[in-house]
Amino acid sequence: MISTSIKRLLLASTLLLGSVWAFGQHQIGNGRISGDFGFNGMYYIPDSIIGAEPVDSKVRGNAFLNILYSNGGFSAGARYEFYMFPLIDFEKIGYQGQGIKYFFADYTNKFISVTAGNYYEQFGNGLTLRAYEDRQLGIDNSLLGARIKLTPYKGIHIKAVWGIERDNFNPYLGREDYVRGADAEFSFGEIFPVIQEKGFIARVGANIVSKFEKSSTDILFDIQDDSLGTVTGVIPQDKVPQNVATWAARATFGYKDFRLDAEYARKMNDPNITNSFIYKPGEALFLSATYAMKGFGIAASFIRADNMEYRSQRWMNQNSELMINCIPAINRQYSYQLIGDYSYASQPNSQIGAQLQINYQIPKKSVLGGKYGTDITFNYSRFHDIDKQPVPEAVENGTMTGTMGYTSSFFKFGPNLLYQDVGLEISHRFNNKKWKWILAYNYITYNLEILQGHAGMMRGHLVASDLSYKITPKHALRLELQHLYTKDDDGSSVYAMLEYSISPNWFFSIGDDWNYGNPDPAHKTHYYNIACAYVWNTTRIALNFGKTKEGILCVGGVCRAVPASYGLGLSVTTSF
């Protein structure tokens, strides 16, 4: 078993990498072939303390190859993915298999763009439709079908899509669901140039998206009856909506350095497993206001989402699988090691919150600013669940299933705090430009129960320092130090990481995350990591050895679980 997996991984990777060189930027007539390749593999070592379980094949890896052909307005491409023995976190979310799951042909000119095959698309802020990929998270929600984009007049953009959403490596054949939609946008500044000349931005847009999914079974659920005890309730097959529509309207207004964006979306009744099969319509509101001038910027945003989880299949509740839309997590995202596990994940069915960020640069050549200025960033965000009052029928049945569910007061914050972050970051370069220092403080409150499924709240203070020193023009050192102080969850941790780089090719680093405050003495573990990378133009080869803590990985408010692991990793990416 072990040797089979190694052999097949090796073979697949070699084949893919081989074709990279084979195709390497070929010119065919006026056309051009380009592409990219990626491999991410690991040799796993069991470790009972951190909870790294023995895995059936110790050597695992993800590999893919993109090939793109373009010739004037025509382009075509395909991606082959080999995830037969994927990294264990990908196996856990069901991203396992192999094949060409992405291919397309596209023709674009000034007025029209036609795509057949797989494509990624987003309407507005993505409240109704966002077909996208995130390779790190194992998300690929591309649509397989057709798309037309029209620009009938400068500043007017119309899009129409039809497609079946990709579901990991499961076959498209036999699927009984599809998505279709259309979006129109009018950019008045382009239509009437005088608006733009006067410094105004004015844009409106609207869209409608509809998903079809065949309904072929009754939905059964429990009802608590006062006299009969538990009885079975039924949503008959013909009462389950086969078509679920969403629509959204958006507007952007701006004048000089000020800008306001607003989008409102509404979803028709969509009983599904994530909302306990209720018939209540969903809605979402996203507001964002920004003001920016040289050396100063302020951005405030607000979001409310109620029952807006929108998937191709009503029984799907795994991660981001088959998600049609994306309700953005608007909090500031950090890359600090110690709070990675406490990154806020967007809650499309129930969240209300706001975010404020202020950037200020103490001017260059001033006393406090020094020669290169000092950057200060302040951040505040707070998210709650929404207010929910069960409808009388739901109270009577002891379940919301099959009813209108609940009513919700629009601007009222719900009883549960989900996430709060107060942060300050100062970045300064010293006069000889050799030293650069970033110092940050964050106070984070994170609802473990709702966001991770284990009891309690995590309240923690993080202090982080990131110091860079340029030894010579090509040699540089970077030292990261972090301390998370908390009495909750796994307790306090310290982290130190030293990186040495030789520009432009070499990177070396050594780091340790010590969970010294773990309430269980046996788990006061050192999660160390040693890494080195070689970069040559667009090729990067990296090796690392160490332990990874069990936790969550978030990219842009979308998160997935990461199991504990210990071992040797290799990653290769290249493009041509």
Partner 1 sequence: MKKILTVILCMTLSFSIFAQEAKDKHLAKLPAVDIQTLDGTVFNTKDIQNDGKPVIISLWATWCKPCIAELLAIADEYEDWVEETGVKLYAISIDDAKTSARVAPFVKGKGWEYTVLLDVNSDFKRAMNVNDVPYMCILNGDGEIVWQHTSYAPGSEEEVYEIIKSLVKK
According to CB under 8 A, which residues from 433 to 462 bind partner 1? Answer: 433, 436
Footprint on residues 495-514 left by partner 1 (CB under 8 A): 501-507
* Number of neighbours of residue 555 by Cβ within 10 angstroms: 14
Q: Which of 68, 245, 417, 510 lies at the binding interface for partner 1 (CB under 8 A)?
A: 68
- Residue nearer to partner 1 on the CB measure, 86 or 373: 373
Place of tokens 């298999």: 97
Instruction: Confirm or reject binding of residue 328 to partner 1 (CB under 8 A).
Output: yes
Instruction: Confirm or reject binding of residue 261 to partner 1 (CB under 8 A).
Output: yes
At closest approach, how far in Å is the CB of 419 from partner 1?
14
Q: Which of 179, 350, 328 is nearest to 274 (CA)?
A: 350
Instruction: Confirm or reject binding of residue 189 to partner 1 (CB under 8 A).
Output: yes
Q: By CB under 8 A, which span of 84-92, 115-123, 402-410, 483-491 interacts with partner 1?
A: 115-123
Instruction: Confirm or reject binding of residue 553 to partner 1 (CB under 8 A).
Output: no
Instruction: Confirm or reject binding of residue 130 to partner 1 (CB under 8 A).
Output: yes
Q: How far apart are CA 562 and CA 513, in angstroms?
A: 16
Q: Which of 173, 167, 400 is nearest to 278 (CA)?
A: 400
At closest approach, how far in Å is the CB of 6 from partner 1?
11
Q: Which of 144, 326, 339, 440 lies at the binding interface for partner 1 (CB under 8 A)?
A: 326
Q: By CB under 8 A, which span of 65-73, 416-424, 441-449, 520-528 interacts with partner 1?
A: 65-73
The DSSP result for 431-496, as a single string, is TTSSEEEEEEEEEEEEEHHHHHSSSSEEEEEEEEEEEEEESSSSEEEEEEEEEEEESSTT--EEEE
Instruction: Confirm or reject binding of residue 21 to partner 1 (CB under 8 A).
Output: yes
Q: How far apart are CA 44 and CA 447, in angstroms?
A: 32
In the chain the first and final C-alpha atoms are separated, in Å, by: 34
Q: How far apart are CA 314 and CA 322, in angstroms?
A: 10
Instruction: Confirm or reject binding of residue 242 to partner 1 (CB under 8 A).
Output: no
Instruction: Confirm or reject binding of residue 126 to partner 1 (CB under 8 A).
Output: yes
Q: Which of 1, 22, 228, 522 lies at the binding interface for partner 1 (CB under 8 A)?
A: 22
Instruction: Confirm or reject binding of residue 121 to partner 1 (CB under 8 A).
Output: yes
Instruction: Confirm or reject binding of residue 120 to partner 1 (CB under 8 A).
Output: yes
- Residue nearer to partner 1 on the CB measure, 54 or 193: 193
At closest approach, how far in Å is the CB of 564 from partner 1?
25
At closest approach, how far in Å is the CB of 41 from partner 1?
15
Q: Which of 50, 46, 54, 41 is nearest to 513 (CA)?
A: 50
Q: Which of 158, 391, 450, 533 lies at the binding interface for partner 1 (CB under 8 A)?
A: 533
Q: How far apart are CA 25 and CA 341, in angstroms?
A: 41
- Residue nearer to partner 1 on the CB measure, 247 or 576: 576
Contact 280, 269 (CB under 8 A): yes
- Residue nearer to partner 1 on the CB measure, 331 or 401: 331
Instruction: Confirm or reject binding of residue 544 to partner 1 (CB under 8 A).
Output: no
Q: Which of 461, 475, 523, 526 lies at the binding interface for partner 1 (CB under 8 A)?
A: 475
Instruction: Confirm or reject binding of residue 366 to partner 1 (CB under 8 A).
Output: no
Instruction: Respond yes or no on whether the N-terminal peptide bond of residue 54 is cis (omega within 30° of 0).
Output: no
Q: By CB under 8 A, which span of 211-219, 285-293, 446-454, 487-495 interacts with partner 1?
A: 285-293
Contact 182, 163 (CB under 8 A): no
DSSP 8-class letter at 51: T
- Residue nearer to partner 1 on the CB measure, 213 or 263: 263
Main-chain dihedrals φ then ψ at residue 41, nearest 5 degrees: -130, 165
Instruction: Confirm or reject binding of residue 296 to partner 1 (CB under 8 A).
Output: yes
Q: How far apart are CA 115 and CA 106, in angstroms?
A: 4
User: % helix / strand / coil in the chain, to the nearest 5?
Assistant: 10, 55, 35
At closest approach, how far in Å is the CB of 335 from partner 1?
6
Q: How far apart are CA 390 and CA 395, in angstroms?
A: 6
Q: By CB under 8 A, which span of 274-282, 413-421, 449-457, 472-480 interacts with partner 1?
A: 472-480
